[in-house]
Structure 1
Amino acid sequence: MAKSALDKDLKKVGSLETATFDLSRSLAAPGLAFLFLLAAMVLAALFVEEGPFGYLVIIASVIAGYMALNIGANDVANNMGPSVGSRALTMVGAITIAAICEASGALLAGGDVVDTISSELLRPGADLSPVGFTLVMMAALLSSALWINLATVLGAPVSTTHSVVGGVIGSGVAAAGLAMVNWQMMTAIVASWVISPALGGILAALLLTITNATIVNKDEKVEAARIWVPVLIGLMTAVFAMYMAMKGFSRLWDPSFGAVAMLGLLFGGLGWALSRPWVLRRSQGLENRSKSINGLFRLPLIFAAALLSFAHGANDVANAVGPLAAIVAVADSASTDVAAVLLPIWVLAIGAAGIAVGLALFGPKLIRTVGERITKMNEIRAYCVALSAATTVLIASALGLPVSSTHIAIGAVFGVGFLRELTSNKGVPNPAVQPRSLFLQPTTLNETAEEALANFQKRERRRLVRRQHAFGIAAAWVITVPASALLSALVYFMLEAVVG
């Protein structure tokens, strides 16, 4: 009896220890995030002059750091999710590679999108004071960060670019009316809601179809892989060379179309030549199975994810610190004309470190959503997703189409999933287009024909894409701009009331 009571007490103590550990772990991430924001405030104080305007810049720096944390938590999952879902990378490995590449891209080639924010999206009027413009940008940053934070909690990958755009529009309208917004730019952004995922999905499905036809569905899979895997690696090398030239290093270099094309041909041929002996060596002794062939795509997939992260850091860091750079420029010049603003290195440092810290602390949830909860991934499918994401951005940039890298990546995941579902259900009667006579008859005395039909569908027709995630993500995309705009307007009125 005494022993039983002692066992119960020991179990209670063990449960208490487990609960305490879980609580401390859940509090550690917010605590570390707070320390980062404190460091951002100190860094800004070192570079900003004292005075009322200087204090606004310091506060804006903290908000920009908060935005960078949320970009790391939400947006980076698009690049690393498929790699983790396919088991090519562990969660720790993915976070480590992404954090290094994101921060490196932000610091070495941080994109300058202040032009879009200040001159293409808004038309600051003469009646908008420097303080008013500062409040517009602060409200845009805070509202978009809050919206992305909410989306991350709900497990929905959203476009951080669209969040910032919605925030700038909402606070801009609140400050100076509808005439302040460039509505032609807004039309292009709305168009990207459809263009981006459609292009990404179609291209990913096409790449997977080609890979299946040339390698996976062949009788001699290993021999086919020795021929076609180097070709696919060469294609990846060419695409990423052009991608990095056009997008990753856009702040440092503005090459012509011909230079980009020549760079792609050069690196494509180099990638093909170098990968041939590697593939031949790795394929020795492989079993003639699709699962064995998948291993040949693991290393190229890791490189693709790393390069996507570098380019993402180079381009999307300005979503966090672009408005802050505009605020700094206004504080220095006492003018709202910020069309030629460059990103100072200390501002870039806040964005780069924030993205890396946010990814490490809060990124795993969205990485699992993108890589595991939409559809099942393997190395080949994940490789097609990564390659199609980079290719789609290149094609859209060449054609001048407005696209979102987030929407492209998620669309590519869905495209791969729906192709798998389509091929898996090939030959199975579809009740929407086939006569009922093709389906099974009732198997029990109490089963009606309708119930037999439903049960047959449930057994035979496979749904390899989880619809609830598709609907939830699509809904989050649609309401991102209006939600962040409305929230930004409310935040602007609050800031205006406080600042006076």
Structure 2
Amino acid sequence: MPRLQQYDYVFAIGTFFALLDAYNNGANDVANAWATSVSSRSITYRQAMVLGTIFEMVGAITVGARTADTIKNGIIPNSAFKGDAGVQMLAFTCALAGASTWVMWCTRHSAHVSSTYSLISAIAGVGIATVGASKVQWGWNGGKGLGAIFAGLGMAPAIAAGFGAAIFMLIKVTVHMRKNPVKWAVYTSPFFFLIAGTICTLSIVYKGSPKLGLNKKPAWYVASVVMGTGIGLCILSAIFFVPYVYAKVIKRDASVKWYHVFMGPALLYRQAPEGEALSVVPNYAVVQEEDEDYTKGTPATLVNGDRGSDEKTDRDLAMPELRLVSPQQTPHMAATPSPYPATFKELSAAAEEKFHAKLRQKRGPLGWAMRTLHENPMGPGAIYETKNMKIFAKRLPAMITVGALYGLHYDIHAAQSGIHGTPEGARMERVYSYAQKYPNEVEHTYSFVQVLTACTASFAHGANDIGNSVGPWAVIYSAWNTGDAAASKLPVPLWQLAVLSAAISVGLITYGYNIMKVMGNKITYHSPSRGTSMEMGAAVTVLVFSQYSLPVSTSMCITGATVGVGLCNGTLKAVNFQRVGLLMISWIATIPIAGTIAGVLMGLFLNAPHFSS
């Protein structure tokens, strides 16, 4: 059948919303998956962006096609469209529009929702508006219907909590409860490399991507490759990683550099230069000395409300640009200090402005952009005033630069710890107080292991969640390109997986901080050994669901694993259940809201009045 050129505009709009949905997926779900590593201080935000981009794309391209098939054909049966490719294109375009709109709004307001369930709900809403509720696959449908998918809403967090708690308790009994936990941490680390390597390899080989033909290999081949890779990684870590960490952590040799890892066992006998200072591992505490200037950057006068002094206030000394101004005042006019204690909004604005002041002092594109925006505020009147149009022309390049680079410099740790002087800050301090703190030398050892577990979790996300966006887009493309609604059953093209996985990475890099700042330490206390357990528990859960072609929310899995590990502290008070409750409300609200948005759009377009030819 010929290409549906008369529906080029539908294909263009569908492509736009598919890219937007993938972008929001990266900014929301992927950011949440990497929040654990960044919160534990095992990895910097920039390093997370690089590794996240690589492993998201690898996971999406190698195993991402299977869950896409569930999204394409498991909710609305292909026969329901009665061969009308145009209606099928419109249906999945509206589904993408509804899901991406809801997730984008939530991301903008730092509300964590599941992009997986947003899209599934949107497709169900579109199905009701298009073919009626009776045609939507509400049951199990061989593991591909809404019943099977929404079963994961309760099962996935619980299963991930169990896996995460089990792994952390293994670490706790094996290492943390020993008399000499540092040596135990170093010598048992290859075992966790074995687990991570096995899981990652298994996800590729076992019923792997049809493009690679790995799903047709015999069982002995699958077992040999999986176990061989895991054991091989374990042996390599014992030969190279253990001596390196031994020299850094136990011998405390500060002269050891990263490239000395290739010396292997020779590092065990390497003598440190005389007079060399002992190595000091990083401090993995949630709130560190260098962060206090930011997290406690709200002066005492803001907290206590004591502003009656004749002397210059702490706000004026620390943050001269933070005086509140009325809409009628210009930024250069001083405002009268309020006699009332500062509000949460004012405290947040004060801390954010102090952070921005630091960014303006940086060299490079971001520093220039922040200074340009600060020194060129919009003047009074509408934007079309001549003066404002000139100012806007100066601000536009800086706004684009800030949008692209701001997330790479955002202070995630300070934002997660809460602002001192507010109920949120006090609540987080209470939660942290119930978590046992382990030696930094032990946590430093697991910071290396967590990098691998984080990459495994990112791979798992790419394997599972790429189907959210590529499934509908593949339907739209195949219907437009062939003019046949039945063409949606064809395999997903590899180039579509690559394009949308790149869009996911862009979302993670540019806007992921907005979700990451409210996750991680906002739920419970993080450290590398805890983070390793959380990520591994979530990765195992996601890969299990992916192997059965069931879309599952990576965000729900990592949240469940976080709660499970937090409960291993032995008390419910070690978990911020207020944040967990808000997350659950947002998850549940996603189902009717995303479904309604997409269903209403489809109903309007499908039944819009038009002139007959």
The interval holding the TM-score normalised by the smaller chain is: 0.7 to 0.9
Structure 1's 131 and 380: CA in aligned 2 closer, same or farther, altered over 3 A?
A: same
In the TM superposition, 1:235-254 aligns within 5 A as 235-246=195-206, 249=209, 252=212, 253-254=214-215
Instruction: Tell me if 1:193 matches 2:153.
Output: yes
Question: Aligned partners of 2:534, 2:97: CA distance in 1, in Å?
Answer: 32
Deviation at 1:80, TM superposition (A): 0.8
Match of 1:133 in 2: 88
Contact 2:92 2:472 in 1 (8 A): yes
Deviation at 1:314, TM superposition (A): 3.7
Structure 1's 244 and 385: CA in aligned 2 closer, same or farther, altered over 3 A?
A: farther
Superposition TM-score, scaled by structure 1 size: 0.76
Match of 2:129 in 1: 174
Identity fraction in percent: 27
Structure 1's 497 and 401: CA in aligned 2 closer, same or farther, altered over 3 A?
A: closer
Contact 1:105 1:248 in 2 (8 A): no
Question: Aligned partners of 2:551, 2:20: CA distance in 1, in Å?
Answer: 27
Match of 2:25 in 1: 71
Match of 2:302 in 1: none
Contact 2:175 2:181 in 1 (8 A): yes
Structure 1's 114 and 97: CA in aligned 2 closer, same or farther, altered over 3 A?
A: closer
Deviation at 1:397, TM superposition (A): 5.7
Superposition TM-score, scaled by structure 2 size: 0.63
Deviation at 1:236, TM superposition (A): 1.9
Instruction: Tell me if 1:218 matches 2:178.
Output: yes
Match of 2:565 in 1: 416
Match of 2:242 in 1: 279
Question: Aligned partners of 2:75, 2:566: CA distance in 1, in Å?
Answer: 36
Question: Aligned partners of 1:281, 1:292: CA distance in 2, in Å?
Answer: 13
Match of 1:491 in 2: 601
Deviation at 1:272, TM superposition (A): 1.9
Q: Which amino acid aligns with 2:556?
A: H
Match of 2:527 in 1: 378
Note the alpha carbon deviations across 1:183-208, whole angstroms, 9 max, x for none. 11111122111110001011111111
Contact 1:97 1:306 in 2 (8 A): yes
Question: Aligned partners of 2:449, 2:561: CA distance in 1, in Å?
Answer: 18
Contact 2:23 2:504 in 1 (8 A): yes
Other structure's SS at 1:219 match: coil
- In angstroms, what is the RMSD of aligned CA positions? 2.7
Match of 1:149 in 2: 104
**Selected match of 1:207 from 161, 167, 180:** 167
Structure with the greater relative contact order (CA < 8 A, sep ≥ 6): 1 or 2? 2
Other structure's SS at 2:598 match: helix
Deviation at 1:378, TM superposition (A): 0.8
Question: Aligned partners of 2:207, 2:439: CA distance in 1, in Å?
Answer: 34
Structure 1's 218 and 352: CA in aligned 2 closer, same or farther, altered over 3 A?
A: same
Question: Aligned partners of 1:321, 1:360: CA distance in 2, in Å?
Answer: 20
Note the alpha carbon deviations across 1:151-208, whole angstroms, 9 max, x for none. 3234333332221111111011101101221111111122111110001011111111
Contact 2:71 2:467 in 1 (8 A): no
Match of 2:72 in 1: 118
Instruction: Tell me if 1:334 matches 2:334.
Output: no
Deviation at 1:337, TM superposition (A): 1.3
Number of aligned residue pairs: give it. 414
Question: Aligned partners of 1:342, 1:235: CA distance in 2, in Å?
Answer: 32
Contact 1:233 1:275 in 2 (8 A): yes
Question: Aligned partners of 1:476, 1:108: CA distance in 2, in Å?
Answer: 31
Q: Which amino acid aligns with 2:529?
A: I
Match of 1:392 in 2: 541
Structure 1's 395 and 354: CA in aligned 2 closer, same or farther, altered over 3 A?
A: closer
Q: Which amino acid aligns with 1:167?
A: A
User: Larger deviation: 149-158 or 268-277?
Assistant: 149-158
Structure 1's 258 and 474: CA in aligned 2 closer, same or farther, altered over 3 A?
A: farther
Match of 2:504 in 1: 355
Match of 2:439 in 1: 290
**Selected match of 1:471 from 574, 577, 581:** 581
Question: Aligned partners of 1:484, 1:331: CA distance in 2, in Å?
Answer: 25
Deviation at 1:285, TM superposition (A): 6.1
Instruction: Tell me if 1:319 matches 2:468.
Output: yes
Q: Which amino acid aligns with 1:279?
A: V
Contact 2:116 2:551 in 1 (8 A): no
In the TM superposition, 1:101-116 aligns within 5 A as 101-107=55-61, 110-116=64-70
Deviation at 1:329, TM superposition (A): 1.1
Deviation at 1:287, TM superposition (A): 5.7
In the TM superposition, 1:299-310 aligns within 5 A as 299-310=448-459
Q: Which amino acid aligns with 2:38?
A: V
Other structure's SS at 2:103 match: helix
Contact 2:474 2:492 in 1 (8 A): yes
Question: Aligned partners of 1:285, 1:116: CA distance in 2, in Å?
Answer: 48
Contact 2:83 2:486 in 1 (8 A): no
Question: Aligned partners of 2:205, 2:6: CA distance in 1, in Å?
Answer: 42
**Selected match of 2:229 from 241, 247, 267:** 267
Note the alpha carbon deviations across 1:198-233, whole angstroms, 9 max, x for none. 010111111111101111110021332243222222
Match of 1:58 in 2: 12
Q: Relative to total residues, which structure has the larger helix share, 1 or 2?
A: 1
Q: Which amino acid aligns with 1:135?
A: L
Match of 1:480 in 2: 590
Deviation at 1:404, TM superposition (A): 3.4
Structure 1's 466 and 258: CA in aligned 2 closer, same or farther, altered over 3 A?
A: farther
Deviation at 1:128, TM superposition (A): 6.2
Match of 1:25 in 2: none
Other structure's SS at 2:490 match: coil
